Chains A and B, each alone.
Chain A
Amino acid sequence: MTEAASPQDSPARGFLTPEPGRGGLASWIFSTDHKRIGLLYLTCIMTLFAVGVCLGLLMRLKLMTPGNTIIAPQTYNAAFTLHGVIMIFLVVIPSIPASFGNILLPLQLGASDVSFPRLNLFSWWLYVTGALVALVSIFTGSGAPDTGWTFYVPFSERTTTNVSVAVLAVLILGFSSILTGLNFITTIHQQRAPGMSWRRLPLLVWSLYATAWIQVLATPILGITTLLIFSERVLHLGLFDPSRGGDPLLYQHLFWIYSHPAVYIMILPAMGVISEIIPVFAHKKIFGYKMIAFSSLAIAFFGSLVWAHHMFTSGMSDVAVLVFSFLTFIVAVPSAIKVFNWLSTLYKGSISLEPPLLYSLGFILMFSIGGLSGLVQGAAGADIHVHDTYFVVAHFHYVIFGGTGLGMFAAMHFWFPKIFGRMYHRGRAAWAFGIIMVGMNTLYFPMFVMGLEGMPRRYYDYLPQFAHAQFISTVGSWVLALGLLLMFHNLYAGLRRGAPAGPNPWGAATLEWSVASPPPKENFPEPPVVSKGPYDFAPREHHV
């Protein structure tokens, strides 16, 4: 395993080569090259991820011991609200589609760019504007928002903190997401290379396609909902106020109509990443290609019909509770199809346990625990017991951090040599993975136990019976942070000094691996003609 390189080993820099006549920063923030835009997203997302992690660590540090410790209750409320808003709207929702989706979609389709490159750049600018407005909401007005990321009424209408500006930030971010989705749908329909039939699309593309539809169809409802909160706060219309003929449950419906499908915006692209990585490192054609592609669409469709399972204890009608509970169980079927097909792909494969596969296996484990714990909450009776407890927090973090987070890290390790043309230290990457897994489970698993014992989420203080588990959970957060630091340090060192990786270090078969690393600005020197599937591997050779 040779990772160190001398300066003369520097690979050609492809799209990373500075553009003549335009300054360093300007050549990035005004570039319409999908790869540069993808890297802009990746940089912003990872920076904001660091902010979200710090807020999470702060909360865990406060919760290490009971009582009034390092931060005041109001600061704690602001911390969990900001942690949620930043992680959900600025990190996880755009994570894989906006960064790796942008970088890889045209490459995997055999195209030179997305259909609307300027719109793509505009999406990024909207994202940055939304992020800045979110920052403004923290430091202006009468205090940072303290509602939690869900902005539930009536509290969000009445609190004096800066909720109005925060919901405007979410509105702007929503537009960014819609435009990216629109761009991806059009690109997949219009920009496929000759021979790239729907049955030859890489599974990442299928998952991005399903995700893009959710972005286009569900995100406008988030936009409307945030505008309604804004109107309520400014104009006092009484839309959600029962004393004036409004309905507070209508808010919850509107919010979750978007925000539950948003969970699938978060997880589907990660599933696409895993579907790309597993066949490469099992060196075997993916098992059940059509069913994995179909299950992405099925998750997108059925996932849009289950939103009210967040509302079982809200006073919603019992008939609706039964219907939404039933529909929730249906979503488990396409999710299970994917997991079984991944495992079947690994079965009797020629497995190379490289870092991208390690993160993918981590994804399968954590997503399975998170997904199955979701069924506990999807069951209407059991949900009465665990609703709004740490059980929900544990479930969500297993799915989103253990799922989407590890999927994102898997993508970073898989496509790193393609994007930067260099290889990171694979031994250190494996160590980082191990530490992250230990940290993640130590941090979140005690929350399942605390939740079942009745520990409510978002509480500033707790009863003495939870002290041990809270302490263990906080120690887990430190281990997790250590693993993350090691992982990012290793990737950064690879970026600076890693050995040249060559065009196809993993022996993958999708189109992005057929061009140089980093890819040239125009992607393909000659327009490609596709004559085989994305998982038709060449006989195994010795790679890096």
Chain B
Amino acid sequence: MPPDAKHSAPHILSPGLLTAVWGALVCLTGLTIALARLDLGFWNAVAALSIASVKALLVILFFMHLKYENRLLKWLLGLACLVLAIFIGMTFFDLAYRGLGTP
């Protein structure tokens, strides 16, 4: 078996921790709605995407048990998230500068 084939043991989370994560997700949803009512211009999108990223991270770490998986899986998911962040970031980068510097 190759070295990266280690298997992690099943892990059961306590109801308290799961409820706390759920509470955090509800609070962050409320924050998203509150921020959407303010006019922050370009930063509205940044704030909404940042909050959504934190929520996704919480779901992946606790509900999908990534926190308790082996390091390889964490690295692979981290790479996927990095690439997604670059895709979104560079698309918004164009939007941020559009119309500037042209007569």
Contacts from A to B (Cβ < 8 Å):
189-192, 213, 216-217, 221, 247, 249-250, 253-254, 257, 304-305, 308, 315-320, 323
Contact = CB atoms under 8 A, between A and B. Distances in A.
Interface of B: 1-2, 4-5, 72, 79-80, 83-84, 86-87, 90-91, 93-102
Contacts of B102: 318
Contacts of A247: 95
19 contacts: A189-B5, A190-B1, A190-B5, A192-B2, A217-B84, A221-B87, A249-B94, A304-B87, A316-B94, A317-B95, A317-B97, A317-B98, A317-B100, A318-B97, A319-B94, A320-B90, A320-B93, A320-B97, A323-B93
Contact of B91 (A213, A253, A318, A319): A253
Contacts of B101: 317-319
Nearest to B93: A320
Q: Which 9 A-B pairs have the closest CB atoms?
A: A317-B97, A320-B94, A319-B97, A317-B98, A253-B91, A217-B83, A192-B2, A189-B4, A318-B101
A291 B11 CA distance: 41
B80 A217 contact: yes
Query: What secondary structure prevails in chain A residues at the interface with B?
Result: helix
A250 B5 contact: no
A253 B98 CA distance: 14
Contacts of A304: 83, 86-87
Nearest to B76: A185
A156 to B, nearest CB: 19
A520 B33 CA distance: 61
Nearest to B4: A189
B90 to A, nearest CB: 7
Given A317-B97, A318-B97, A319-B101, A305 B90 contact: yes
B2 A189 contact: yes
Contacts of B79: 213, 217
Contacts of A305: 86, 90
Given A189-B72, A217-B80, A317 B94 contact: yes
A213 B77 CA distance: 12
A319 B97 CA distance: 7
B91 A190 contact: no
Given A217-B80, A257-B87, A305-B86, A317 B2 contact: no
Nearest to A315: B98
Interface centre among B2, B86, B93 (most CB of A within 10 A): B2
A278 B1 CA distance: 31
Given A190-B2, A192-B2, A316-B98, 16 more contacts: A189-B4, A190-B1, A190-B5, A213-B79, A216-B80, A217-B84, A221-B87, A247-B95, A254-B91, A315-B98, A316-B94, A317-B95, A317-B101, A319-B93, A319-B94, A319-B101
A319 B87 contact: no
Nearest to B101: A318
B94 to A, nearest CB: 4
A308 B94 contact: yes
A460 to B, nearest CB: 33
A191 B100 CA distance: 52
Nearest to A316: B94
Contact of B90 (A217, A254, A308): A308
A253 B90 CA distance: 9
Nearest to B100: A317
Nearest to B98: A317
B97 A250 contact: no
A253 B86 CA distance: 13
Contacts of A320: 90, 93-94, 97-98
A440 to B, nearest CB: 34
B53 to A, nearest CB: 16
B89 to A, nearest CB: 10
Contacts of A190: 1-2, 4-5
A317 B87 contact: no
Nearest to A319: B97
A250 B102 CA distance: 20
Nearest to B83: A217
A266 B2 CA distance: 29
Contacts of A323: 90, 93
B91 A257 contact: yes
A230 B2 CA distance: 44
A250 B4 contact: no
A298 B102 CA distance: 34
B72 A253 contact: no
A538 B90 CA distance: 50
Contacts of B72: 189
